[in-house]
Amino acid sequence: MGVPLRSGNVRKPNEKMRLIVTTFAGVIFGFFLGVSFPTLSLTKMTLPSSLFPSIDLTYIEDKYSGLSTQAIFNALNSLKANKDVSVPPDKHNETKIWVPTNPPGAERLPPGIIASESDFYLRRLWGQPSEDLTIKQKYLVTFTVGYNQKATIDAAVKKFSENFTIMLFHYDGQTTEWDEFEWSKRAIHVSARKQTKWWYAKRFLHPDIVAPYEYIFMWDEDLGVEHFDAEEYIKLVKKHGLEISQPGLEPNSGLTWAMTRKRDDTEVHKEAEERPGWCTDPHLPPCAAFVEIMATVFSRNAWRCVWYMIQNDLIHGWGLDFALRKCVDPPHEKIGVVDAQWIVHQGVPSLGNQGQAENGKAPWEGVRERCRREWNMFQDRMTNAEKAYYEAMGLHPNLTMKHWD
């Protein structure tokens, strides 16, 4: 007698059909349930910024619009869990700003917000910014000073009208003491002990900072100005087309160069006769295209070039006077001495005394040695820089420069 088969081991045909129908009905029901809900827009949801800190939801939804909302959230949760995964930036996002013509470092800013220049105009702490300034000075004059020369500086400042911003560089650290003069309260004061005017100029007179000023006067502290008027000086500079200039020096004040000596028969001169052998070309320094660095006056455009030529570590400026001609063209016409407005060089060795006595030498002797050393270093750097440039251009001019001792 055979063993009967159990119904649990073998499915009957009607049970298989029931399973197929149930599965199909579930799929149909799920489909209609899904389409009955409105589309969920990720961009209209408010999510904590800490949840997805660097993900552009609009970008994801637009790029992968065929995915379901749940699938997108699953992807985002995976990104959040795995911090090593990065989302590439949207290269096609038109709202991102990049302006290559902006100043370096400011390419991400809209051009309309960029303020590339500044000034030394003093402003109030209150009121409307547009009402701060009753006058915008057209010129800048700087003096590198010690308090011991206060009488000379007071007399000099009074020769400059309200059209000038006054700036004092203090090499002795004394600043508030100058408030005994009323004009000092309107001046700009910068203090760093035992530094020269070229050290200050390189750090505080960037061309974009002094851009509002038509002319920049860079003067020493030991200049007599009894026969000088700044406004009249400016008129003559403009009249004769001088981009770099200085007042004529009184002949009896220890002159070094014939070019800077005051003449009595002219308003301005641009050339001179020097000692035999000093000038290889009558249009070159020290016979032309030359002024000294004690009382130099620069146009805005000339200063922009000169500032870049000042070496950051050569603080005395010796040698600059022979190289100023490289910043204007033609130099023998654009550089000159104003005779009708002249000054006296008093020759006070005040900054020289700020040096340090070494090896039995007085403080001023060490300073003078450094000045001469810097002069030769500057000339070597200029020669080497020009040589490298011309060689790169395939040119080989004669660039030997005389070292002045």
Tokens 């641009």 locate to 270
Question: Number of structural domains, the chain?
Answer: 1
> In the chain, how long is the greatest CA-to-CA distance?
151
Instruction: Give the per-residue SS3 of 175-218.
Output: CHHHHHCHHHHHCEEEECCCCCHHHHHHHHCCCCCCCCCCEEEE
* Residue 237 near residue 334, CB atoms below 8 Å: no
pLDDT at residue 364, as a whole number = 78
- 167 assigned to some structural domain: yes
- 335 assigned to some structural domain: yes
Residue 251 and residue 343: Cα distance in Å, rounded?
Answer: 10
- 175 assigned to some structural domain: yes
- 402 assigned to some structural domain: no
Q: Which residues pair with residue 190 across a beta bridge?
A: 169
- 188 assigned to some structural domain: yes
- 124 assigned to some structural domain: no
- 66 assigned to some structural domain: no
Tokens 């040698």 locate to 319
Mean pLDDT by runs of 10 across the 405 residues of the chain is 43 61 64 51 42 41 45 48 45 82 96 96 96 96 96 97 97 95 97 96 98 98 96 98 97 82 96 90 95 97 98 96 97 98 88 75 85 96 96 81 53
Instruction: Tell me the HSE value of 50 on the side-chain side, using a 13 A CA sphere.
Output: 0
Amino acid identity, position 151: A
pLDDT at residue 336, as a whole number = 98
Q: Which long-range contacts (CB under 8 A, 24 or more apart) does 122-127 make?
A: 122/186, 122/188
Q: Which domain holds residue 268?
A: 139-349
Other beta carbons within 10 angstroms of residue 146's beta carbon come to: 18
- 385 assigned to some structural domain: no
In CATH, what number is assigned to the domain containing residue 307?
3.90.550.10
Residues 6+ apart with CB under 8 A from 405: 372
Global pTM exceeds 0.85: no
Other beta carbons within 10 angstroms of residue 368's beta carbon come to: 17
